Structure 1
Amino acid sequence: MTDSLILVINCGSSSLKFALQPVAGGAPLLSGLAECLGTADACITFKSAAGKERCSLEGGAHDAALESVIGHVRKQGLLDRVAAVGHRVVHGGERFNGSVLIDDEVETAIEACIQLAPLHNPANLLGIRVARQALPALPQVAVFDTAFHQSMPRAAYLYALPMTLYREHGVRRYGMHGTSHRFVAAETASMLNLPAEHGIVIAHLGNGASATAVKNGVSVDTTMGMTPLEGLVMGTRSGDIDPGSIAYIAERLGLDLAGVDTLLNKQSGLLGLSGLSNDCRTLEEAAAEGHEGAKIALEVFAHRLARHIGGLAMSLDRVDAIAFTGGIGENSSLLRQMTCAHLKALGVTLDSSANQQCVRGQAGRIDAGQGPAVAVVATDEEGMIALDTARLAGLAGLGALAA
């Protein structure tokens, strides 16, 4: 089974990412992204060692995208080597504290979590159902973003609300990006040769962003809450905001709850602050040219991130390392520098040259050797999903894949 492959599927609300991961380890043989699903612009791009290939889906939805993926894998002569399918699922509530083999009961439990992640779980569930129908003979595994954070103590996950809201309606902090945080926690400990007892604060920064305190490999606190809206400034999400301001905003702008939700999730964050873009690269270029809104957005992003890193440090016994990951964390030397400039109270120092070199997939230490280590670590969510899938499906090659 050393030549077996795992098909990793990540369904978004209007997109589908996939990767064909070798069980024996190494880079994906095939990967790609289907975008704008359900619209006239729906298309899919395949990437392999041979290059890129882009195809129209002519208004197709997730089922058409997955059929296209399977057809392309078959055309490449690889379908017979696919031994299992791994699915990213955003929200598993309190039901799941780890990855699981999917059956009808698991499907029903994922569906029950839709109200906790209404923008994400329906798409995740659709991908599962289409894949189970298309590939019924293969074991399929659900890997939950929330599972890694189920180790948080109740002091970290409870809101200061009437307990009936938690007991009867599941209102609590769950956290997200757990698959990435779990991978980066292990990778950082290995990279820095940390002792068994250690503390790491991980900043997963992209269009969605969260930070997590990891104690001895276990999540003990995180910034995202019941939904992916809480915590850091993000591409279009506000992050933390005074709940009292929501009623004020709604009254002043005449917004209903749906309108407020749209404002906070899709019109805020870097986009709202800058009035220009949610793309960090665009904002850095504009800021360098004097765009005031771009400067403000980057300043608020870095300040909020540093404040949360400092807060998360208090959930640890010690801070051995701070790790930056995700699209922004791995590539924006400017935002890493701006953030670390706020962390002098933790003893953080930065090596400017090393920081500048860690872009475009280049990982490594960027601190100046005093205080906690600071590292740039490339995340691999698809690899972690494949690892869990291989383990639960009883496939060989785990050591190579984990490495």
Structure 2
Amino acid sequence: MRSVLTINSGSSSLRFALFNVSESLPQILIGKFDRIGLPDAKLTFTDVLANQSHDRMVDAPDHVACVPLLVELLEKKIRVESVGAIGHRVVHGGPRYRDPLRVDKPVLEELRRISSFAPNHLPSTIALMEVLAAKFPQVPQIACFDTAFHSALPRVAKLLPIPRRYEAKGVQRYGFHGLSYSFLMQELEAVAGAKAAGGRVILAHLGNGASLAAVRDGKSVDTSMGFTPAAGLVMSTRSGDLDPGLVAFLGRSEQMTETQFDRMIHHESGLLGVSETSSDMRDLLAREAADVRAAEAVALFCYQAKKWIGA
């Protein structure tokens, strides 16, 4: 029995699914490494054929640390040699990549070149590709790009109001979570019909990374994220949109460097920054009645989500 392994690497999670290669592509195994980088990282998986679910705490300081655990799990469920292809969700394709393509040396080099476009996603994705290539050298890996769904954005939506010369360097609004939005559009058509899916639609992807998209006639016409996945709605540890004047202000008042500012907006802000306790909405909802900081973090997230939908 041949199978296909899919990898969806998020900012603090790694989802995986194993499919049997047949006409209907039935699932064999699905699972997720959650809270990667935190002390209470967890592996949850379901053996679909046996209808059995399991979970356990794991040591997962980063995404690469999940690979041996995943391979061990695969070896228990199937013959690893049966894996015929590995598909990756890649958060950023830059100005060059839109269609799915096979991962090879030139692709890895281009992804490294644009890794500064998505510094909290692309490096870990590249590392996963390299580790899996070493483990499964004969198995093709296919990259599917999260930015592709928004590639037809109207030009006015892509433009950023900075000197035009930066556009030649690839600086524009890209938008993200495109694979999620593509799936949502397929499901919307299946559930509500082609007319509903072809109308005016607002889609929301709400996780550790969060964004919204406006869709008309089946195509993305605007989205909350921008040049990087740090823009838009407040997220778990990412700030979302900020006044750019903060860069100079914090540089003057706190002597904050570029690296420190980047770390702050990606890893120390959002729900974590406001609550000072957790980046996980589940934790904040459990604490909001007793902790005003948690309550304000939840309220800020809901306020911004409603504001973006209204826009």
- The TM-score range, normalised by the shorter chain, is 0.7 to 0.9
**Within 5 A, what are the aligned runs for 1:93-108?**
93-108=94-109
What is the match of residue 3 of structure 2? 5
Q: C-alpha offsets along residues 232-276 of structure 1, whole Å, 9 cap, x if unaligned? A: 011121111111133223322231112222222222212222333
Paired positions, count:
305
Residue 291 and residue 57 in structure 1: after superposition, are their counterparts in 2 closer, same or farther (change >3 A)?
closer
- Displacement after TM superposition at 1:158 (Å): 1.2
What is the match of residue 349 of structure 1? none
**Structure 2 CA distance for aligned equivalents of residues 296 and 60 of structure 1:** 29
Q: Is the 8 A contact 2:19 2:29 kept in 1?
A: yes
**Structure 2 CA distance for aligned equivalents of residues 58 and 232 of structure 1:** 27
**Structure 1 CA distance for aligned equivalents of residues 180 and 62 of structure 2:** 30
Unpaired runs of 5+ residues, structure 2, are: none
What is the match of residue 304 of structure 2? 304
Are residue 81 (structure 1) and residue 49 (structure 2) matched? no
Q: Which secondary structure state, in structure 1, belongs to the residue aligned with residue 173 of structure 2?
A: coil
Q: C-alpha offsets along residues 139-179 of structure 1, whole Å, 9 cap, x if unaligned? A: 22101111111111221111011111111x21111111111
What is the match of residue 238 of structure 2? 237
What is the match of residue 187 of structure 1? 187
TM-score normalised according to structure 2 size: 0.86
Residue 234 and residue 58 in structure 1: after superposition, are their counterparts in 2 closer, same or farther (change >3 A)?
closer
What is the match of residue 267 of structure 2? 266
RMSD: 2.9
What is the match of residue 120 of structure 2? 119
What is the match of residue 275 of structure 1? 276
Q: Is the 8 A contact 2:8 2:15 kept in 1?
A: yes
User: Structure 1: which amino acid aligns with 2:130?
Assistant: R
TM-score normalised according to structure 1 size: 0.68
Q: Is the 8 A contact 2:91 2:176 kept in 1?
A: yes
Residue 59 and residue 151 in structure 1: after superposition, are their counterparts in 2 closer, same or farther (change >3 A)?
closer
What is the match of residue 20 of structure 1? 18
Q: Which secondary structure state, in structure 1, belongs to the residue aligned with residue 33 of structure 2?
A: strand
What is the match of residue 206 of structure 1? 207
Q: Is the 8 A contact 1:41 1:59 kept in 2?
A: no
Q: C-alpha offsets along residues 41-65 of structure 1, whole Å, 9 cap, x if unaligned? A: 9986654344426586798972x64
**Structure 1 CA distance for aligned equivalents of residues 254 and 102 of structure 2:** 47
- Displacement after TM superposition at 1:137 (Å): 2.5
Q: Is the 8 A contact 2:11 2:208 kept in 1?
A: no
Residue 12 and residue 212 in structure 1: after superposition, are their counterparts in 2 closer, same or farther (change >3 A)?
closer
User: Structure 2: which amino acid aligns with 1:52?
Assistant: H
- Displacement after TM superposition at 1:99 (Å): 1.5
**Within 5 A, what are the aligned runs for 1:4-403?**
4-11=2-9, 16-23=14-21, 24-33=24-33, 47-48=46-47, 49-52=51-54, 54=56, 62=64, 65-167=66-168, 169-195=169-195, 197-287=198-288, 289-311=289-311
User: Structure 2: which amino acid aligns with 1:291?
Assistant: D
- Select the structure of larger CA radius of gyration: 1
Give the number of the structure with larger relative contact order, counting CA–CA contacts within 8 Å between residues 6 or more apart: 1
Residue 44 and residue 293 in structure 1: after superposition, are their counterparts in 2 closer, same or farther (change >3 A)?
closer
Q: After the TM superposition, which segments of 4 or more aligned residues of structure 1 sit over 4 Å from their partners? A: 11-16, 34-37, 39-47, 53-61
**Structure 2 CA distance for aligned equivalents of residues 212 and 270 of structure 1:** 21
**Structure 2 CA distance for aligned equivalents of residues 60 and 226 of structure 1:** 24
Q: Is the 8 A contact 1:46 1:54 kept in 2?
A: no
User: Structure 2: which amino acid aligns with 1:152?
Assistant: L
Deviates more, 1:64-73 or 1:150-159: 64-73
**Structure 2 CA distance for aligned equivalents of residues 43 and 300 of structure 1:** 28
**Structure 1 CA distance for aligned equivalents of residues 222 and 244 of structure 2:** 21
Residue 65 and residue 280 in structure 1: after superposition, are their counterparts in 2 closer, same or farther (change >3 A)?
closer
Q: C-alpha offsets along residues 278-307 of structure 1, whole Å, 9 cap, x if unaligned? A: 2222222323x2532233222221221122
User: Structure 2: which amino acid aligns with 1:75?
Assistant: K
Deviates more, 1:252-261 or 1:228-237: 252-261
Q: Percent identity?
A: 37
